[in-house]
Structure 1
Amino acid sequence: MPGTGRPTSRDVAQEAGVSQSTVSLVLGGKWSGRVSPATAQTVREAAGRLGYRPNLAARSLRLGTTRTVLLIVPTLSAPFFGDVYQGAARVAAEHGFGIVAYPWPDDAGPADSPFAAPHEAIDGILASSLATDVASAFRGTPVVMLDSDPAGAAPTVVFDVASGMRAITAHLAALGHRRIGHVAASIGQWTFHDRGAALAEAVRALPGGSYVRSAGDLEVGSARDAAGRLLDLPDPPTALVCDDDLISAGAYKAARARGLEVPGDLSVTGIDDVQIATALEPELTTVRLPAEALGAQGMTALLEVLDGGTPRPGPLPGELVVRGSTGPAPRTAP
């Protein structure tokens, strides 16, 4: 019978009728393929009855690990990356890991990496929305990429942004829009390239479809100028598709500076569905990208890598959220 002091893994093993090594596998999250699901459940139930909690600090010292993961993002100011962190941290905590967030801008190089020898300070890295060659800067530390080019060498979790752009195009086409402008982010990331390519292909496939593009920085003032260049064309678009919700705010400003009403004279859409989407007036039609699920699936994939596996996560679908910023094409449009 278990002793009356703090329960140990030996107590759990005795309670469950298994070996201590089986207890270690199950409570360390390494049982898959080695222990049956029924046995794993028996061990967890025994640990719960006894109130057993593994000594993670001692286990880390014994295994030579820190049980810490680094989450690298381009910026800490965007709400999107806060949601990514929340999803990753939830899964990490369930497996006894902690997460440290680190901003690493697009123009950073290997000399700017957070650790001279990352393998001595962390067990693995989640790198979100960065170029795929960032993985080479970490000297063999296990890496999972998020929202990055899936053709890279590291395991990668991505959004299905192409389907999101096709959904936006179909929505606008059903409202009668054929002249569609793309207010693009001038950032050399895979996700923005994929969004633009999918949108251009979808619009050009429409009968009478016309696609025009103008790019700017991921900032309201620059987005306003990029949208203004499209609205000043001799035959301007009747709808603007923006690469993210912040860019849409710039499009609103450009429209109002020219006396255009959204959506009466001009429809506007975004992508991401962050807080600004419902702060705008009218509220923004956008594609909701599950940022928290991105972080959670990325952390799950990294745990599999740390356990010696080869994860192959599928793309995460977006959801078109129709709000007040889109309406029928103006009657003057052909």
Structure 2
Amino acid sequence: MGGGSVMGRGRPTSRDVARVAGVSQATVSLVLGGKWHGRVSERTAQAVRVAAGELGYRPNLAARNLRLGRTRTALLVVPALTNEYFARICTGAAQVAAEHGFAVVLYPSPEGIGPARDPFASARAAIDGVIASSMAADALAGIGGGGLPLVMLDSDPAAPGGAPTVNLAVADGIRQITRHLLALGHRRFLHLAGDVDAWTFRIRAETVAAELSRVPDAVLLHTEHSALDAPAAREATLRALARPGPRPTALLCDDDILAAGACKALRGLGLDIPGELSVSGFDDLSLATAIDPELTTVRLPAEEVGAAGMTALLALLDGAPAAGGELPVELVARASTGPAPR
């Protein structure tokens, strides 16, 4: 295709790519800038990519960004990367960002929740937009540059402010797992709830109560709150089971980490899982199959959440409607749940 003669003259330019691909420089700019969808055919886009690859052409992103007033950088605000779920969100967001020539700066808030100090002298000068988990929403107060394009994850879509949201079908997940336990004959429930003031946990509590209220002989004996770590969940489970009254037959946990702590408490009390007490989680983290018995839980497509969040942010930056919505979740029944004891 004549690439050698171009390379012989020095660094190839977009004009060289356009000539080799048989297109205009504007088309080259659209394709290599990731904005060709709906404007250029897939065949033409592929021809541009092939020509650029053969010529060894790399666009001058610094000059392009300076013209556009863009940094091509997104900020992802999450509670903590020590939680597998948020690490997987980061993976999904970074994959979509890379496809569009963007970078992702990760910003975990201290202690998992709460405000944090602005990592930039000026956020508006350093980043183009923000993707934030509702569990780390308080951290946004510490980031300068208000008014930046914002997409919220796991956040109340009816909340004031108008930011697009990308959510999981959390209510449906809790509904599936509660009905699974009810179908196994369980009627006495203990809810081990995450002690976090966030929409995603409020909707779990509301859904548990609503589902059990539909069954005349089902009862929610108690809701015990716990910090989101296994030792705290163990102590919370022991507190709940020490309460006077009938013992629950099903322990419904807001996430897998809480469920792991609960299982440790039950084993310490000499209780059989699921013979005497069934345990369920939420998230389907790696530890769900590492504990014994393996954990019944709800699988969350975390990578898809991150990818959808980044896609929505890119749409905002292009002045297009940001498609948010709700991603489906899936019940995964394993050995930690069984028929209610007689």
TM-score by length of 1: 0.90
Q: Structure 1 residues 113 and 270 mapped into 2: Cα distance closer, same or farther (>3 Å)?
A: same
Does the CA-based 8 Å contact 2:114-2:139 persist in structure 1?
no
1:102 is matched with which residue? Answer: 107
Matches of 1:131 and 1:276, distance apart in 2: 23
More displaced 10-residue stretch of structure 1: 302-311 or 47-56: 47-56
CA displacement 1:19-61 (0-9 Å, x = unmatched): 2112212221223444455544554454455454323233223
Matches of 2:256 and 2:138, distance apart in 1: 27
2:324 corresponds to 1:313 = yes
Where does structure 2 lack aligned partners over 5 or more consecutive residues?
none
CA displacement 1:222-246 (0-9 Å, x = unmatched): 2123222332341121001101111
2:191 corresponds to 1:186 = no
The code of the aligned residue for 1:259 comes to G
Q: Structure 1 residues 131 and 86 mapped into 2: Cα distance closer, same or farther (>3 Å)?
A: closer
Deviation at 1:133, TM superposition (A): 6.7
2:177 corresponds to 1:168 = yes
SS where residue 337 of structure 2 aligns? coil
2:74 corresponds to 1:69 = yes
CA displacement 1:249-308 (0-9 Å, x = unmatched): 121122123221111100000001112212211111110111111111111111111111
> What is the correspondence of 1:16-35 to structure 2 with a 5 Å cutoff?
16-35=21-40
CA displacement 1:49-108 (0-9 Å, x = unmatched): 545432323322333322221111112221211111111111111111111211114653
Matches of 2:129 and 2:78, distance apart in 1: 14
The code of the aligned residue for 2:237 comes to A
Matches of 2:236 and 2:129, distance apart in 1: 39
Q: Structure 1 residues 43 and 206 mapped into 2: Cα distance closer, same or farther (>3 Å)?
A: farther
2:280 corresponds to 1:280 = no
The code of the aligned residue for 2:337 comes to T
Matches of 1:246 and 1:24, distance apart in 2: 47
Deviation at 1:131, TM superposition (A): 5.8
> What is the correspondence of 1:231-242 to structure 2 with a 5 Å cutoff?
231-232=241-242, 233-242=244-253
Matches of 1:236 and 1:49, distance apart in 2: 70
CA displacement 1:115-143 (0-9 Å, x = unmatched): 24201111121112336576565411211
The code of the aligned residue for 1:147 comes to D
Does the CA-based 8 Å contact 2:18-2:24 persist in structure 1?
yes
Matches of 2:292 and 2:93, distance apart in 1: 32
The code of the aligned residue for 2:114 comes to A
Matches of 2:305 and 2:168, distance apart in 1: 8
Matches of 1:145 and 1:134, distance apart in 2: 13
Where does structure 1 lack aligned partners over 5 or more consecutive residues?
none
2:146 corresponds to 1:127 = no
User: Out of 263, 266, 287, which is 1:252 matched to?
Assistant: 263
Matches of 1:135 and 1:15, distance apart in 2: 47
More displaced 10-residue stretch of structure 1: 244-253 or 10-19: 10-19
1:118 is matched with which residue? Answer: 123
User: Out of 229, 254, 259, which is 1:219 matched to?
Assistant: 229
The code of the aligned residue for 1:225 comes to E
Matches of 1:157 and 1:180, distance apart in 2: 30
More displaced 10-residue stretch of structure 1: 125-134 or 86-95: 125-134
2:151 is matched with which residue? Answer: 144
The code of the aligned residue for 2:132 comes to A
CA displacement 1:184-203 (0-9 Å, x = unmatched): 01100111111111121112
More displaced 10-residue stretch of structure 1: 238-247 or 208-217: 208-217
SS where residue 331 of structure 2 aligns? strand
The alignment of Structure 1 onto Structure 2 pairs a total of residues equal to 330
Matches of 1:322 and 1:35, distance apart in 2: 46
User: Out of 257, 275, 279, which is 1:264 matched to?
Assistant: 275
Does the CA-based 8 Å contact 1:230-1:237 persist in structure 2?
no
Q: Structure 1 residues 58 and 88 mapped into 2: Cα distance closer, same or farther (>3 Å)?
A: same
Matches of 2:6 and 2:48, distance apart in 1: 19
Matches of 1:307 and 1:179, distance apart in 2: 52
The code of the aligned residue for 2:67 comes to R
Matches of 1:135 and 1:108, distance apart in 2: 9
The code of the aligned residue for 1:71 comes to L
TM-score by length of 2: 0.88
Matches of 1:48 and 1:19, distance apart in 2: 17
Matches of 2:140 and 2:318, distance apart in 1: 19
The code of the aligned residue for 1:229 comes to R
Q: Structure 1 residues 38 and 206 mapped into 2: Cα distance closer, same or farther (>3 Å)?
A: farther
Q: Percent identity?
A: 58
Matches of 1:315 and 1:200, distance apart in 2: 22
Does the CA-based 8 Å contact 2:52-2:58 persist in structure 1?
yes
RMSD: 2.2
Matches of 2:282 and 2:188, distance apart in 1: 19
2:6 is matched with which residue? Answer: 4
